[in-house]
Amino acid sequence: APAVIVAIDGPAGTGKSSTSKAVAAQLGLSYLDTGAQYRAITWWMVNNGIDIADPTAVAAVAGKPEIVSGTDPKAPTISVDGTDVSGPIRSPEVSSKVSAVSAVPEVRARITELQRSLAASAENGMVVEGRDIGTTVLPDADLKIFLTASPEARAARRNGELKGADLHATREALIKRDAADSSRKTSPLAKADDAVEVDTTDLTLQQVIECVVTLVEEKR
Ligand code: C5P
């Protein structure tokens, strides 16, 4: 079969990562978590004392960190300048700052280039998850999925991942991040016109995976 590119976009907590990894593993495709790349560059900015409220300061160093993504869906990795940052990029501090960093056009240009080159070199194809994959990064993707879910369902799922977190605070943080991601000027979170929208509120993860696998197989 020829290489197949699947773009999976949507707001936080809709099951993008779990779905994308499972679909890629099941179909023998590579997997790219583009949110992890934006988190990694944000982690580097925080670690290096860059004022993330200052877009000019962020833009000036956007090209500095070397960000490497491992694209095996069974064991995805992310490193910055050779250091594995899979753990620290999930901290509440990085989560609260990533939208500001990822809104800077120089950051997006840099990360988008990385994403396109990884997708082009994936032998069997790739499942790429993010916010602007179907609209901007890979507009010619073979299949575009846009996952949605109610804010309540999204907060509950995210809370299941972050042990001991407060549900109300999680919900507020997700809503704030989605609003920032949707309203930025450069490639905001948006559904592509030709994307298939899947509302996952009342679906199990297994049902979402099956739905996407079926859609990919129809395209192959
Ligand atoms: O997917 P995840 O929640 O880890 O993404 C973290 C953040 O990275 C998003 O809230 C958004 O600000 C940014 N992002 C983006 N474009 C993408 C993927 C993520 O701007 N394609």
Annotation: CATH topology of 4-212: Rossmann fold (3.40.50)
ipTM reported for the complex surpasses 0.90: yes
Q: Assess whether the C-beta atom of 131 lies below 6 angstroms from ligand 1.
A: yes
Mutate which of 128, 181, 183 for ligand 1? The one with the most ligand atoms within 8 Å of its CB, which is 181
Mean pLDDT, to the nearest integer, of 18-25? Answer: 98
Rounded to two decimals, the pTM is 0.96
What are 172-207's pLDDT values in tens digits? 999 999 999 999 999 999 999 999 999 999 999 999
Reported as half-sphere exposure (CB side, CA atoms, 13 A), residue 147 has a value of 32
- Where do the structural domains in the chain lie, given as residue ranges? 4-212
- DSSP for 155-198, written as a single string: HHHHHHHSTT--HHHHHHHHHHHHHHHHH-SSS-S---TTPEEE
- pLDDT of 2 > 80? The answer is no
Q: Which residues are annotated as a binding site?
A: 10-18
Q: Assess whether the C-beta atom of 107 lies below 6 angstroms from ligand 1.
A: no
Q: Assess whether the C-beta atom of 30 lies below 6 angstroms from ligand 1.
A: no
Q: Assess whether the C-beta atom of 130 lies below 6 angstroms from ligand 1.
A: yes
Q: What is the DSSP letter of 2?
A: -
Q: Compute the distance between CA of residue 78 and CA of residue 85 in angstroms, rounded to an integer.
A: 6
Cβ neighbours for 164, distance < 8 A, ≥ 6 positions apart: none
Q: Which helix (H) or strand (E) holds 33?
A: strand 30-33
What are 118-162's pLDDT values in tens digits? 999 999 999 999 999 999 999 999 999 999 999 999 999 988 877
74-78, 97-101, 165-169, range with the lowest pLDDT = 165-169
